[in-house]
Amino acid sequence: MNFLSFLFCSALLLLKLISTGDGMDIIGGKKAKPHSRPYMALLKEICGGTLIKPNWVLTAAHCTLKIKNSVILGAHNWGKNETEQQRLFVLRAVRHPDYENCTKSNDIQLVQLNRPAKMTASVSVFSLLPSEKDLKHGTKCSTAGWGVTKANSNTLSSVLREANLTIVERAKCHKIYGKIKPKEVITKNMLCAGPLKRRKDDACTGDSGGPLICENKLQGIVSFGKGCGNPKIPGVYTRLTTEYHNWIKKTIGGAY
Q: Closest Cα to residue 40, out of 141, 140, 159, 148?
A: 159
Active site residue 137: no
Q: How confident is the model at residue 132 (pLDDT cuts 50, 70, 90)?
A: confident
Q: Is 35 one of the annotated active-site residues of the chain?
A: no
Q: Which fold has domain 140-240?
A: Thrombin, subunit H (2.40.10)
Q: What whole-number distance in Å separates Cα of residue 122 and Cα of residue 246?
A: 28
Average the pLDDT over 181-189 and give the result.
79
Catalytic status, residue 245: no
Catalytic residue among 25, 35, 62, 223: 62
Range from 33-47, 74-88, 155-169 carrying the lowest mean pLDDT: 155-169
Which of 105, 122, 157, 208 is labelled catalytic?
Answer: 208
Residue 225 predicted with pLDDT over 80: yes
What lies within 8 Å, CB to CB, of 256 at 6+ separation is: 52, 53, 56, 125, 127, 128, 248, 249
* Domain 38-126+243-252 of CATH type 1.20.120.450: no
Q: In terms of pLDDT, which residue wins out, 120 or 22?
A: 120
Mean pLDDT of 140-167: 82
Catalytic residue among 25, 107, 201, 202: 107
What does the mean pLDDT of the chain come to?
Answer: 84
Write out pLDDT tens, residues 32-48.
Answer: 999 999 999 999 878 99
- Which has more confidence, 46 or 205? 46
Listed in order, the ranges of the chain carrying CATH 2.40.10.10 are 38-126+243-252, 140-240
Q: How confident is the model at residue 185 (pLDDT cuts 50, 70, 90)?
A: confident
d(CA 168, CA 134): 11
Please give the average per-residue pLDDT across 51-62, as a whole number: 98
